Structure 1
C-alpha cells in the first residue's frame, strides 16, 4: 500500500500547480483585476485596445512582468498614475510564435516586494490575426445588415485578444468599456451590462455618426479563457425569470421557443449540486461558423445553431454549459493537462440534470454509450500515432509542453473523466458522492485545482466521514485504479458498457442490418420511434462496425430512413462520415450533400471527422472553398488534419 501511495504522489508531482502553456511569470505576480477598453472598427476588422491591470506581487523581489501575447501590435506600456512609459520587448521563438504566441517582457524600472500592488496600462491593436476572434462580413450573417464579431478564448487564445496571464491558474475580476462605430451594433460580454448609451463621434473617422458605448463588469473571479464578447445586430429575449436567449433577429423567435425551459434546466442542476451564484443566465446562438457546440462563458454561454433541432433534442448542450457554472467556471482546472477537472465533472453533473429532464435514466445511459463509442475510437486513433504527445491525448493528463493546448482537446476529458467519476460514485455510493462533490465545490470555490487536489480532498473527506474499515476498503478500490485512469494511454481500467433497455433494441437493430447485408430487417421501422440520442447510438455503432457495413447496407439504410434528408446535424455528420468510410459517398449526389454540409456548419466536432475521412485532394479543395467561412480555430484544426494526410494513389 505504501508503494502504491508513493507511486501515485510521484506521478502527481508532474502536473501539480504548473501550467506549461503560459509564458507569464504568474508564480511571481498575479492579476487581480483587468479593465478593458475597446474601440471596435468592424468594417476594417480592427480593434484599438487599452487594458489597465491591477497586479499583486507574490515574489520577494520583482523587476519584470511577463505576459502572454499572440500576433498583436503593442503600442505603449506605462504607469497610469504618473504616465511613466516603461521599456518592453517581445521574446519569441519561430515555432512557438505560431503554436502559442510570444512572451511580452515589461521592465518595471524598480524593484517590488512581496505583497505590493502594481497598476499598469497597455495600449495595443489587434485584427484578423487574433486567433480568438471571428470577424464576419454582413453577407455572412443571418440578418445581413452589419458586420459581426465573436470570440472563442478557450484554451489559451485570449492572449490574441488581450495581453495577459493566459492561464487557468490565475483568476481575476474584470470590467470593460466597448465603443462601436455603428449604431446598429449591439454588444454583450461575459459580465453584467451596466450601460448602453449612444453618442456622437467627433473624431475625423465617421465624424458626426451616432455610435454606441457599452459598459460591463464581472465581480466573480474568472480565468482569462472565460472573457467573451459578441457584437452584431443581436438582441435579447427572455426565456424565464433568470434566463434569456440572444441572437440575430431572423431566427430569435425559433431559438426562444426551443430554449423556453432554460429556467427548468437551471433548477434541475441546482437540485443536485446547490445554488446558482452567477445571477442571470443567457445563451447566445451564434452563427454556424462557431467552432464548438457550446462555450460556457459566465452569464453569456455561446452555442452553435446545430443545437436547435426543433424537437429540443439538442438541448443537452445547454444543460452541459449550465453545468459548467459549477464545474469549470467555479472550480477550474489549473492547467490544460487537467481539462477533465472541467469537462469530466461537467458531464457528470449534466447527466444528473438530464436524468430529471428525460425522466428515464436509461436514456441518459444512451448518451454515455454514444460518448463511450467515440472515446474508444479516439483512444485507438491516438495510440496508433508514433508521436508520444499524441498518444498522451488518450489519457486524462495529455502532454502539452511547447504545444498548442487546443491540439489535445477531444472527447477524452469529457467521457473518460465522466467514467472515472461514475466509478468513484459506485464505490462511495450515490448519496455520499453527491455530498462529497458539494464539499469539493465549497472548498475550492472560485479557485483552480488539478487531479491531485481532487484526489487528496476526496481521500480526506472519506476518512472524516466513514468508519475506519469502510474507509480503508473504498480507498483501496480507488487507489488500485485512480492513477491508471488519469495517466495511462489505454482503455480505462474498468470497462463500463452502460447497457440498458433503451439501447438494447438499438444495438439489436444494428446487428440485424449487418446480418441482412442490405435486406431491411423485419422491424426496421422502429428506428423512426427512437429518440435522437438512440439514433446517434445507432449511427456511432455502425461507425464502430464500419468494416462490416457494405454499400448495399448503406443504400438500403438511406432508402429506409432518408437520413441525409434529416435536419439534425448530430445525425447528419455521423451519417456523412460513415458514407465516406464505407465508400457509399463515391457518387456525386452523395458527395455534393456532404460538401454542402461542411460549407454550412463550422462546428469542429462535426466537420473534423468528415475531413479526416476524405482523401487529401478532396479535403484540400473543400477546405479552400470554405476557409473564409470557418473560425480561426476550425481552420487551424482542418489544416492540421490535411497536413497529416498522404496523397492517395
Structure 2
C-alpha cells in the first residue's frame, strides 16, 4: 500500500511538473526586435476588447483596452504606450500596480503591469492626448463636404501605441472586438466587420475574428455613407465623393476574383475601401476588410487604381503573412508590388503592368541615387535598430523587392513560381515570418527542389542591384521617349500621338524632360496640354516637380503648387515637390508654403518634411 501511495505521489508530482513545464513554454517563440518594449515570450496579448468614446470637442479618445493574455509564469506584462494618459490598470478585474518606464522619443514608454502566474485578463483605463501621433482630427473645412469633422488613424509602423496601449510589434497577432461611441450624426468604421448605415445613437460594435498585427487596427469617424460594388466589395466616402469613388473603384470585385485565381481564396470575407480626406499621408493603407485610400487616386478614368490592386494584394502579403520585424519590411512590400503587377496584368494587359513596373524601376534608381552615401540602406534586409522604422519604408523595400521576385520568376518560370507563392501564402497564413525563414523556405520549396542556383544572398544582404536583374521593357514608353527627344530638337510635337496616352505615359513623358529644357519649351508644352491645371494628381505632381527644376513660372504654376501642397497631404506627393525645392536651392520658398500647409498634414508627413527642410516649430 505504501508503495502504491508512493508511486501515486510520484505520478502526481511528475504530472504537476509536466503541467508546470508545459505552462512555462510559450505557444510560439517571438523574435527580439528593437521597436517594441514588449517581452512576448514572457507574457503576450491574444485578444483585445476595446471600449472607447470619441470626443471631437476635446479631440480625445478615452476608455478601456482589455486583453486576454498568455502568461508564461510571468510577474509582469509589458505594453507599448506613447503620449497616453494611463489612469489605472486591472488584472482579472482587480486594481494592480503599473509603471511607465523611461520615455524614448521614438518608442514612447514601456507600460509595466504587475500580474500573477494565473492572470488571464488585464484592463487599461486610458486617454489619448494632444500629442497622439496616430490620430488626425480634422475640422469640417478640411473635409470634402465641409460640414462635419473627421477622424482617422494611421498605425503603421509603430503608431498604434499612441492611441491604444498595446504590444506594438508586427509579430504579435490579436483578434479584437470594439465598442465605439461617436457623435450621432457621424459613422464609425474599423478594420473589422463594419456597419453599412448609421446607428441612431452613434454607438457601433465591431468584430475582427482573424488575428492581425497591431499596426492594422484602425478607425475612421466621419459623415460617410456606403455604396456596394458586389456582395463582398464596396466603398465608404463622404456624400460628395461617394459616386465618384464608386465609379473609380468599380473593378474591385474583378480584382479580388483575379487575385484569388493567382494565389488562393481571399481570407477576410469583405474587401471595402474608404476614401479619406486629402490629408491622409499615404496612397493607401491595407487595413484588413477596410482599405484606407487617398482621394488623389480619384482621377475619373480608373487610371490610378493600381493602388487598389496593391492594397488588395496586401490581403495576402502583409496581412495574411506578415513581416516579423520592420527590418523585414520588404517581405510585406516587395511581394505586394509583385502581386499588384500580376493583378494589373490579368485585368488590363501586360503593357499596362510593364508601364507601372518601369515607373517603379525609375523610382528605384532615384532612391539608389539618394542613398548613395548610405549603401547599407539599399539592402533588402535592413538594420533599423535605434532608428524609426519609417526610414525603411521606401522604394528599396517596394521596388527592389519586386525586382528580386520578378527576376526569380523569370529564372524558374512563371508556372513554378506561382505554385511556390500560392503554397507560401497557404502554409504561412495568419502568421509572421522573417527574411531568414523565407530564404530557408525558398531554398527547400523552389530552388533546391528544381535544381536551380540563384544569388539570393546577394539580392537580400548586399547593397545595390545585382547584375542578373529582370529587364522591364515597355514599347509604349520607348515611343514616349522618342517624342520627348523630337520635341527637344524641333520644338514641335504631334498632338495626335498623345491623344490616347494613359496617365502613366504622361508621367513618363514629363519625368523624362532633359535638364537643359528651357522655360520657353516648358511654356509651349503647358500651353499645348495645360499641364499646370491637370486634374490627374500624379501628372500634376511630376509636372510641378519639373516646373521647380526648370525655374518655370508660367500659367500661374506657383499658385497651383502652393494650393496643391496646402490641400494634399499624401507624403509621397508633397515630399517629391518639397525635395525639388530643396534640390534647386529654393528651401526658403518651400518653407513659406510649408508653414501654411503644415497643420493640414498628418504627423507621418510632418515628421518627414520637418526633417527634410530643417523646420523647427516655434
Common fold by TM > 0.5? yes
Alpha-carbon deviations, 1:90-142, whole Å to 9, x = none?
2224xx32x2322112222x4x3xxx663100000003321111101122222
- Structure 2 match to 1:120: 122
Shift of 1:492: 4.0
Shift of 1:195: 10
**Alignment partner, residue 369 of structure 1:** 358
1:329 aligns with 2:319: yes
Q: Check conservation: 2:327, 2:383, Cα contact below 8 A.
A: yes
* Distance in 2 between residues matched to 1:484 and 1:448, nearest whole Å: 23
- Superposition map of 1:52-91 within 5 A: 52-57=66-71, 59=72, 61-81=73-93, 83=94, 85-91=95-101
Distance 1:196 1:74, change over 3 A: farther
Question: Contact conserved, 2:43 with 2:77, CA < 8 A, in 1?
Answer: yes
CA contact (8 A) 1:336 1:405 kept: yes
Select between 303-312 and 619-628 the one with higher mean Cα deviation: 619-628
Which of 495, 507, 518 in structure 1 is aligned with 2:481? 507
Distance 1:553 1:451, change over 3 A: farther
Counterparts of 1:117-266 in structure 2, within 5 Å, are 118-180=120-182, 182-193=183-194, 211-266=201-256
What 5-or-longer segments of structure 2 have no aligned partner? 1-29
Instruction: Answer yes or no: is the 8 Å Cα contact 1:168–1:332 preserved in 2.
Output: yes
Matches within 5 A, 1:264-283: 264-283=254-273
1:189-220 Cα shifts (integer Å, max 9, x gaps): 11013798857xxxxxxxxxxx4211001110
The aligned counterpart of 1:46 is 60
> What is the aligned-residue RMSD (CA, Å)?
2.0
User: Structure 2 length normalisation: TM-score?
Assistant: 0.90
1:227-250 deviations in Å (ceiling 9; x for gaps): 010101111111112111001111
Secondary structure in 2 aligned to 1:584? Answer: coil
2:53/2:61 contact within 8 Å kept? yes
Higher relative contact order (CA 8 A, sep 6+): 1
Q: Secondary structure at the match of 2:317?
A: coil
Answer whether contact 2:187 2:199 (CA < 8 A) is retained: no
CA distance in 1, matches of 2:489, 2:477: 18
User: How has the CA–CA distance of structure 1 residues 119 and 511 changed in structure 2, closer, same or farther, with 3 Å as cutoff?
Assistant: same
Q: Retained in 2: the 8 A contact 1:196–1:212?
A: no
Which residue, out of 548, 551, 575, partners 2:519? Answer: 551
- TM (norm. structure 1) is 0.86
Provide the rounded CA distance (Å) in 2 between the counterparts of 1:535 and 1:335. Answer: 38
Quick check: 1:408 aligned with 2:376? no
Instruction: Give 2:48's aligned residue.
Output: 34
The alignment partner of 2:126 has SS state of strand
Question: Structure 1 stretch 558-567 or stretch 605-614: which is displaced more?
Answer: 558-567
**Which residue of 2 is the match for residue 291 of structure 1?**
281
Structure 1 CA distance for aligned equivalents of residues 511 and 153 of structure 2? 31
Q: 2:498 matched to 1:486?
A: no
Q: Distance in 2 between matches of 1:195 and 1:261?
A: 20
Do the aligned residues in 2 keep the contact of 1:416 with 1:492 (CA within 8 Å)? no
Partner of 1:536: 507
The answer to whether 1:104 aligns with 2:111 is yes
Superposition deviation, residue 464 in structure 1: 7.2
CA contact (8 A) 2:379 2:461 kept: yes
SS of equivalent residue, structure 2 residue 499? helix
Deviates more, 1:429-438 or 1:140-149: 140-149
Count of aligned pairs between the two proteins: 583
The whole-number CA distance in structure 2 between the counterparts of 1:576 and 1:246 is: 30
* 1:321-400 equivalences in 2 (<5 Å): 321-358=311-348, 360-384=349-373, 388=374, 391-400=375-384
Contact 2:406 2:470 in 1 (8 A): no
Q: 1:631 aligns with which of 584, 599, 602?
A: 602
Gaps of 5+ in 1: 1-15, 200-210
Structure 2 distance, partners of 1:107, 1:404, is 29
Distance 2:171 2:199 in 1: 38
Asked if the contact 2:197/2:226 (under 8 Å) is kept, the reply is no
**Deviation by residue 1:431-464 (Cα, 9 ceiling, x = unmatched):** 0100000110111110011121111111111367
**Aligned to 2:605, what secondary structure does the other structure show?**
helix
- Structure 1 counterpart of 2:545: 577
**Secondary structure, aligned partner of 1:128:** coil
Q: Per the alignment, in what secondary structure is the counterpart of residue 289 of structure 2?
A: coil
- 1:42–1:492 Cα change, 3 Å: farther
How far apart, CA to CA, are the structure 2 residues paired with 1:528 and 1:44? 52
Q: 1:619 and 2:590 equivalent?
A: yes
